[in-house]
Amino acid sequence: MVSAIIVAGGSGQRLAGPVPKQFLRLGRYPVLEHTLRTFATCREIGEIILVLPRDYVDSWHKRIFPNPFFKKVAAIVAGGSHRPGSVQNGLWALSAACRLVVIQDAVRPFATHRMIKECISAARRCGAAAVGLPAQDTVKRIKGRRILGTLDRRELLQVQTPQAFRRRLITRLYASGRDLGTDECYAAEKAGHRVAWVAGDVTNFKITTPRDLELARLWVRNFRP
């Protein structure tokens, strides 16, 4: 079985406000619910684990579990103080039948079924996979205000989520005590595991700043129910 962990455990400090960004309204639904609906309607996903800030767990229990649309949600668990801790808590909640895990940022509400399916297929072949976009702009290496050199953009990828892993691999990496970095592929790369990538999309952006939120609201208003 393929399980999805939707990571929404953060406080959204870069988008200042009393409500974390994953719970802000985006058209008819909160940001998190847009993401959840995509995974709930994806055939390849057998169960979903939601990882939320502790103060939101009870209210989302009441919102999600009475709704048959979200019958794939198997558990809602509290996040950790940082992303690796939140993902770890999600891994602990997986059912015994899970063989492959898809990890998704809750604040990327425009991932598609195509991305999920292709990421799962790549992870089945290689053990680990991520969605990403080849870099389009020229990228410079800097130190302070000095430009030190130019990187070859043909070798650069802007990584997104979903990211997918064989369960045995991702649980072993999280149990190893390695530096887990800012995304789940980092630990796999550092451990020498092959990580595949599949095509993302510019619309699969992460809501981090007020400008991102306005762009997401514009997108929903014009292109999504």
Element (DSSP H or E) covering residue 173: helix 167-175
**Mean pLDDT, residues 13-29 taken together:** 82
pLDDT of residue 187: 87
Mean pLDDT of the chain: 92
Please indicate whether residue 108 or residue 222 has the higher confidence score (pLDDT): 108
Q: What is the mean pLDDT of residues 138-148?
A: 93
CA distance linking residue 130 with residue 136, whole number of Å: 18
More confident residue, 180 or 97: 97
pLDDT in tens, 49-60: 999 999 999 999
Mean pLDDT, residues 119-128 = 97
Task: Enumerate domains of the chain plus CATH numbers.
Answer: 2-223 (3.90.550.10)
Judge whether residue 16 has pLDDT over 60: no
State the pLDDT at residue 223: 79
Nearest to 44 by CA among 6, 101, 105, 109: 101
